[in-house]
Amino acid sequence: MLFRKLILIGLLPLALTPLAQALGSVDPITLASTTEKSLSSKPKAAPVIPAAEKSYADSARLIEESQLPTTNNVFGGNLFQGNFAKNGAGQFSPDYVINSGDHIQLVMWGGVEIATELVVDPQGNLFLPNVGPIPVRGVRNQDLQKIIDQAIKKVYRANVFNYASLAAAQPVRVFVGGNVKKPGMYSGTSMDSLLYYLDQAGGIDTERGSFLAVQVKRGNEIRATVNLYDFLLKGKLQLTQLSEGDVIFIPQRQNTITVSGLASNNKTFEFSQPQISVAALAALAAPQVAATHVRITRHSGEKKNIDYYSLAQAAEVQLNNGDAIEYTADKKPGSITVRVEGEHLSAQEYVLPYGAKVGDLLEQIQYTPNAAANSPQLFRNSIKEQQKEMLAVALKSLEASVLTARSGTSDEARLRSEEAQLILQWIDRAKSIQPSGQVIIANSAQRNNLLLENGDLIRIPIKDGLVLISGEVLFPNAIAFDQSMKLDDYIQSAGGYTQNADNSRVIIAHQDGRFTDSRVKDHVAQGDKVLVLPKIDVKTRQIVKDMTQIVYQIAVAAAVVLGL
């Protein structure tokens, strides 16, 4: 709404309104007049309107860019969001291997009392007075207590007890390189996982980097190769203990397949082999139960070929690098459901074979004594969507006409701006109206042969003894039907026309779904709705025409009068 208001009328006084507000009490018209004089005396000065329009356009562009989706379409692309980097390792793993620089907490009691923190020296030893060096490098954390206890008992054979635990892991600096977003050196501890360091580096570059072969290097040796798909799909992560100067390297991405359609994981997947079968890909893509077929798009040189298989046929079909696969539902229609509401005593939900007709259903309905059996109403979802689309197109066209209207003078611009604000508010209200999707079938000679669609609604109206008067009348109301009363009598019974009424535009909505214009036929029957449409009091002839058309469109599609 804000941006739409800003570009409402592209005139000098309105373009200067924000500047006038910034100056406090300066009137926009005065400011415009002053600016016009300045422009006339300095013909080479930059015009104000383009600058304002450029500013508004820049604002709109920034808003649109901020609303662009950020979800990555590569499988695993959302793995590195900063959560690993925020939370380092909190507890020591039993399989952690002691290394130089680690801190060991040692407590001895009994014949000797010691409470100290020892550091594993570069030779991999702990030095304990009276005991000497104890080699612990390469010892697993769960075996540390046993190794130290054995060394102490060689000197203190009785009445000396001890407890040893890992206090702090060795601080390390690890290089992260290859196809990551922010290559560099990152600090942590030898206990932190490679996910911690990758997250600090911004994660894997999803357009170039591989999730299948994350390498941990020490010198020229590849110490470990980690497949992150195991973590994403199975929750398994290979424990790799890092040391000072280690390198985490992300190689080039390998072969890829893009998945779309009826699958839980509509992503681009990576695979290491030259080919992958559709069955193997299904373990990654997780096709939905509704999927029955696959459409495979293959790119071979300058040609694009498309293959189509059932899931059973496609199981062993091989996919190549760059192929795309779409899971689809290719099911033959079997049956449909139709709901029946209103004045009847039969079931409310009917299951009918595909191809059933309106007459097939009407024969099964048991009507109440008060049912208007000759005026069945059919409501269809597909028609409702079409009505919504048509209304949306008309409203968009009207909105464009309002926003691009031009005025010649400042006074006219101000009046046009106020009028446009009212019209735009009216458009916003019109957008919220939901069409009914009604199909008029009551008096159709081919009614019984009309095919039913899944989700149709049949409503049997009641023999209503009322006439509903709505729209631009003083007292919208329901009035008892009287054979002697004419259209104008009903309107007068509702208080007569309002000042905003257009008494030449009155629509009669009949119970069977038909609409008639009172100028053509003003006969009112029981159960009818009388819709008095509003006057369209705007200055631009084209806008009057567009709004009048939309008012009629809304009245017919939703049986609602939308006044300005």
Q: What is the mean pLDDT of residues 81-92?
A: 74
Residue 519 confidence (pLDDT): 78
Q: Which residues pair with 471 in a beta bridge?
A: 532
Residue 324 confidence (pLDDT): 94
**Cβ within 8 Å of residue 533, ≥6 positions away:** 471, 472, 501, 502, 505, 506, 507, 551, 552, 555, 561
For the domain spanning 171-250, the CATH number is 3.10.560.10
- The mean of the pLDDT values for the chain is 81
CA R_g for the chain: 39
Residues 267 and 259: their CA atoms lie apart, in Å, by: 5
CB 235 within 8 A of CB 229: no
Q: Give 270-319 pLDDT, tens digit per residue.
A: 999 989 999 999 999 999 999 999 999 998 778 889 999 999 898 899 99
pLDDT of 550 higher than 70: yes
Report DSSP state, residue 382. H
**Cβ within 8 Å of residue 43, ≥6 positions away:** none
Residue 527 confidence (pLDDT): 86
Of the listed ranges 63-67, 241-245, 253-257, the one predicted with least confidence? 63-67
Tokens of 354: 């595909």
Report DSSP state, residue 274. S
What percentage of the chain exceeds 70 in pLDDT? 85
pLDDT of 122 higher than 60: yes
Q: Give 438-496 pLDDT, tens digit per residue.
A: 888 866 667 888 899 999 999 998 888 889 999 889 999 899 988 889 988 889 989 99
Q: Which residue has the higher pLDDT, 405 or 160?
A: 160
Residues 121 and 137: their CA atoms lie apart, in Å, by: 9
Question: Measured on CA atoms in the order 107, 113, 118, 122, is the torsion positive or negative?
Answer: negative
90-168 and 171-250 share one CATH topology? Answer: no
Residues 490 and 242: their CA atoms lie apart, in Å, by: 88
Residues 185 and 201: their CA atoms lie apart, in Å, by: 9
Split at pLDDT 50, 70, 90, the class of 225 is very high
Residue 167 confidence (pLDDT): 82
CB 196 within 8 A of CB 216: no
Residues 75 and 286: their CA atoms lie apart, in Å, by: 12
Q: What does DSSP say about strands 477-480 and 457-460: parallel, antiparallel, or unpaired?
A: unpaired
Q: Give 375-393 pLDDT, tens digit per residue.
A: 888 999 998 899 888 888 8
What is the full DSSP assignment across 451-512? Answer: BP-TT-EEEE-B---EEEEEESBSS-EEEE--TT--HHHHHHHTT-B-TTEEEEEEEEE-TT
Residue 133 confidence (pLDDT): 92
Sheet holding 377-379, edge to edge: 349-353, 335-342, 457-460, 377-379, 438-439
Residue 8 has, within 13 A of its CA and on its CB side, a CA count of 20
Q: What is the mean pLDDT of residues 114-130?
A: 89
Residue 547 has, within 13 A of its CA and on its CB side, a CA count of 26
Q: What is the mean pLDDT of residues 176-197?
A: 90
Q: What is the mean pLDDT of residues 352-363?
A: 91
How far from chain centre, in Å, is Cα 351? 34
Residue 37 confidence (pLDDT): 40
Map out the domains of the chain as residue ranges.
Answer: 2-66, 90-168, 171-250, 255-328, 402-438+462-558
Residues 527 and 530: their CA atoms lie apart, in Å, by: 10
Q: Which residues pair with 349 in a beta bridge?
A: 339
H/E element, 223: strand 221-226
Q: What is the mean pLDDT of residues 431-435?
A: 86
Q: What are phi and psi of 3, to 5 degrees?
A: -65, -40
pLDDT of 183 higher than 60: yes
pLDDT of 517 higher than 60: yes
CB 534 within 8 A of CB 561: yes
Q: What is the mean pLDDT of residues 395-416?
A: 76
Residues 167 and 150: their CA atoms lie apart, in Å, by: 20
Residue 443 confidence (pLDDT): 67
Q: What does DSSP say about strands 377-379 and 438-439: parallel, antiparallel, or unpaired?
A: antiparallel
Q: Which residue has the higher pLDDT, 9 or 190?
A: 190
Split at pLDDT 50, 70, 90, the class of 49 is very low
pTM of the model: 0.54
Q: Which residue has the higher pLDDT, 331 or 185?
A: 185
Report DSSP state, residue 444. -
Q: Which residue is listed with tokens 């040692």?
A: 106
Residues 466 and 491: their CA atoms lie apart, in Å, by: 14
Q: Which residue is listed with tokens 């009847």?
A: 344
Q: Give 536-547 pLDDT, tens digit per residue.
A: 877 777 777 878
Q: What are phi and psi of 494, to 5 degrees?
A: -95, 15
Split at pLDDT 50, 70, 90, the class of 88 is low
What percentage of the chain exceeds 90 in pLDDT? 32
H/E element, 352: strand 349-353
Q: Which residue is listed with tokens 């206990």?
A: 191
Q: Which residue has the higher pLDDT, 94 or 41?
A: 94
Q: Which residue is listed with tokens 């820049």?
A: 58
Residues 116 and 97: their CA atoms lie apart, in Å, by: 21
Q: Give 326-339 pLDDT, tens digit per residue.
A: 999 988 888 999 99
CB 196 within 8 A of CB 188: yes
Tokens of 302: 């300058």
**Cβ within 8 Å of residue 213, ≥6 positions away:** 225, 226, 227, 251, 254, 272
Residue 5 confidence (pLDDT): 42
Superfamily of domain 402-438+462-558: Outer membrane lipoprotein wza domain like (3.10.560.10)
Superfamily of domain 90-168: wza like domain (3.30.1950.10)
Split at pLDDT 50, 70, 90, the class of 563 is low
